[in-house]
Amino acid sequence: MRLNAWLARAGVASRRKADELIKAGRVTVNGEPGQLNTFVQRSDDVRLDGRPLAKQQLAYVLLHKPAGVVTTASDPQGRPTVVDLVELPIRVVPVGRLDADTTGALLLTNDGELAHRLAHPRYEIDKVYDVETWRQPTDVQLEELSRGVALEDGPTAPAEVRRIGGARLELTIHEGRNRQVRRMLEAVGHRVKTLHRSRYAHLTLEGLEPGAWRELEPSEVERLRAATRDS
């Protein structure tokens, strides 16, 4: 594991701030100054300012993100963050993002390797959204969404689309671009009124009120690992 990821998992700092600590020469691995390209093994002795560090236990959290909360570890504008909502002694960070106004299922973890795999489009992790638009989309527009639409950063992959009723639809995507669902709807002529992620991979929000969270069961973590395992 790369040194900055190891430090993040140890709860020392984010990867970006860990890079700053490494550049400042404050981190050693087996008595030698750590470098940005240093890889850490399980048996290695990692220290910060001479103080031994132990890798934190892995944690996996499912949060029902409420509206008005930002999906970052900290916010310069002082808005509440998803990390503020999770009261664990272990530092966890969100996997991907949901807009401040978007609600629903959000996974947080300190397992950097799994988080990276879950975010990679090659593994086609389902992200299921309940979308309400201001006007009722036509069947032709829903077909456009299902085939994939052209965005300024390239065409999207095909999506699964199901009309729930009126101006509400269920949209399943496997990518995680910035504001992707909103931009996809805009590409076919609609603005999103409300957006809620009802499912992430196999994880649903059953039993979780907005703002509530729970740790995943070992079997749920294993399913996530299986979904991102190279065949």
Looking at residue 1, its pLDDT comes to 80
3-52 and 126-200, same CATH topology: no
pLDDT digits (tens, 9 = 90+) for 152-199: 999 999 999 999 999 999 999 999 899 999 999 999 999 999 999 999
Burial class (CB within 10 angstroms; exposed 0-12, middle 13-18, buried 19+) of 167: middle
DSSP state of 196: E
99 classed as catalytic? yes
Total number of residues shown for the chain: 231
1-10, 93-102, 145-154, 163-172: lowest mean pLDDT where?
Answer: 1-10
Give percent above pLDDT 90 in the chain: 75
CB-CB neighbours of 79 under 10 Å: 13
**What's the pTM?**
0.80
At residue 222 the predicted structure's pLDDT band, cuts being 50, 70 and 90, is very high
40, two tokens: 């850490």
Q: Is the pLDDT of residue 69 over 90?
A: yes
Superfamily of segment(s) 126-200: Alpha-L RNA-binding motif (3.30.70.1560)
Where do the structural domains in the chain lie, given as residue ranges? 3-52, 60-121+203-227, 126-200
DSSP bridge pairs for 204? 199
Average pLDDT, the chain: 93
At residue 59 the predicted structure's pLDDT band, cuts being 50, 70 and 90, is very high
Q: Is the pLDDT of residue 42 over 80?
A: no
pLDDT digits (tens, 9 = 90+) for 107-138: 999 888 898 899 988 999 999 999 999 999 99
Contact 80, 69 (CB under 8 A): yes
Which residue in 99, 111, 126, 139 is the catalytic one? 99
The hierarchical CATH code for the domain 60-121+203-227 is 3.30.70.580
39-43, 139-143, 152-156: lowest mean pLDDT where?
Answer: 39-43
Looking at residue 231, its pLDDT comes to 65
Task: Say which CATH topology domain 3-52 has.
Answer: 3.10.290
Looking at residue 2, its pLDDT comes to 87
CB-CB neighbours of 215 under 10 Å: 15
More confident residue, 231 or 51: 51
Report the alpha-carbon distance of residue 130 to residue 207 in Å, rounded. 18
DSSP bridge pairs for 65? 104
